[in-house]
Chains A and B, each alone.
Chain A
Amino acid sequence: MRDLDQYDPRARPARVNMILRHAALTRLTHWLNAVCFCVLAASGMQIFNAWPALYWGQTGADGDRAVLAIGATHDSGRLAGQLRVGPWTLPATGVLGVSTLHGEPVLRAFPAWLTLPAGQDLATGRRWHLFFAWCLVFNGALYLAHGVVSGHLRRDLLPRRRELAPNRLWHEIVDHVRLRFPKGEAARRYNPLQQLSYLTVIGVLLPLMVLTGLSMSPAMDAAFPWLPDLFGGRQSARTLHFIAAALLVLFVVVHLAMVVLSGARNNLRSMLSGRYAIQEGDVHE
């Protein structure tokens, strides 16, 4: 809708100022991270499918109460997919629990089109997962090192104290919900909602993924018995790994929506070539 302004004959032609929004290393690590995320999510669902139930504590198997499980029941000869979360049971046929393969209903927690590899193959799924977990760690280390040395983390991602005042944050949230995004000078910087969500991903969710992931390794548990205890046990760590993954998926969905709604072309260009267009004298407040 904002783009219509450009075609309003009465409007003064706005001066467009091109700035360097993202450093080359930020752009490179962003796209490598995007690849890692997709492969880790798809192979993670493959691994989850091998035992599609989550528990709390050190142990969890057949007889134990699952906090989340994807399964199926036989209803008068027909397979019906189910998602169980705590005490609730939700029908999920068509997406979870039961998939149609070659015209036949088959038992499958996450459907084949979401998992890597598509067919049920835990061993290959683990190879994909661990290879790209290493890529994620190296890429993340490179990003953090650059972020500290260049000042990117402190300068661009650390919110200023006055921006964190509740009424300021509420104002930002209302603006975002109304799809009114910062323009002009205000668009030079990340807004506090961006800063907080990026910091949550970088500082909380991704470290949580790495640590809960390591907690599932029997070798790591032998070396550091306190590691799974940090999360309430080995099975709790597996459950938190799943929850953190779900939150990362949620982040990516919102992130992509914001990229599209706040100017897809400009945003995409800034993450590819680094150049970001700012309309001067067009201050939104």
Chain B
Amino acid sequence: MNDVRDGRRRFLAGIGALALGGCDVGGPDAAPTDILRLAEPLTMGAQRLLLGRGALAREYGEADVSPRFRVNGTSMPDSDTYAALLANRFVDWRLQVGGLVARPGSFSLAQLKRMPSRTQITRHDCVEGWSAIAKWTGVPLALLLDAAGVLPGALRGVPLCRRAGTNPGRQRALLRKH
């Protein structure tokens, strides 16, 4: 944000700085939040009712892809762990799957790349408010979950990622009951 060149760029940098606050989840005032959370089952119930099991994000064409896709936070964490992973071309990186699954385990990048992949062009709507369309390629989550064996009673998938510095170089996907 230091190499801003003109008014427009500087202005947008201001927006970026304003938006960073939005990344912080949760606040100090938990008491009113407990009451406010009572509306969440209502929202979720209404969505489940309307959504159906097969509804997925709309797919777009190549022409709709946004010229630039915003990188939230940083694209180059400055931790030693990340530097080591990068130097080794992410051979040591693992995606862990745990929680309510029959076979908790982890996947290496090579393993993930050997699995069937799917490419789709979809719009990303950030919780902050902006939207951008991009082309995504990777293993469908359903295949990973099938491999891990989802146990009956698991209702939600929670992707966890750790911030640079606190992450031992692994990402985890956890299945939870509620």
Interface residues of A (CB under 8 A from B): 47-53, 58-64, 69, 71-74, 82, 84, 97, 107-109, 117, 119-124, 126-128, 130-131, 134, 216-225, 234-235, 238
Q: Name the one of B7, B21, B130 contacting A122, with C-beta atoms under 8 angstroms.
A: B21
Q: Name the one of A60, A123, A130, A224 contacting B130, with C-beta atoms under 8 angstroms.
A: A60
User: Within 8 Å of chain A (Cβ to Cβ): is B141?
Assistant: no
Counted as pairs of residues, one from A and one from B, with CB atoms less than 8 Å apart, the total is 150
User: Within 8 Å of chain A (Cβ to Cβ): is B149?
Assistant: no
Question: How far is it, in angstroms, between the C-alpha of A123 and the C-alpha of B11 when the chains are bound?
Answer: 25
Chain B interface: which size bin? 35 or more
Q: Which residues of chain A are near B55, meaning CB under 8 Å?
A: 219, 222-223
In the complex with contacts A124-B33, A134-B39, A73-B22 CB distance below 8 A: no
B146-167 vs A, Cβ < 8 Å mask (1 yes, 0 no): 0000000000000000000000
Expressed in whole angstroms, the minimum distance between the Cβ of A60 and any Cβ of chain B is 6
Report whether B67 and A63 are in contact in the complex, using a CB–CB cutoff of 8 Å: yes
Question: How far is it, in angstroms, between the C-alpha of A113 and the C-alpha of B135 when the chains are bound?
Answer: 41
Q: Name the one of A73, A108, A224 contacting B7, with C-beta atoms under 8 angstroms.
A: A73
Report whether B125 and A130 are in contact in the complex, using a CB–CB cutoff of 8 Å: no
Residue of B64, B125, B131 contacting most chain A CB atoms (<10 Å): B131
Report whether A222 and B57 are in contact in the complex, using a CB–CB cutoff of 8 Å: yes
Query: Which of B23-31, B88-96, B106-114 is the interface stretch?
Result: B23-31
In the complex with contacts A108-B18, A124-B33, A223-B52, A62-B68 CB distance below 8 A: yes
User: Within 8 Å of chain A (Cβ to Cβ): is B168?
Assistant: no
Q: Top 8 nearest A-B pairs by Cβ distance?
A: A50-B22, A51-B129, A120-B21, A71-B14, A127-B36, A122-B22, A131-B39, A61-B130
Report whether B16 and A62 are in contact in the complex, using a CB–CB cutoff of 8 Å: yes
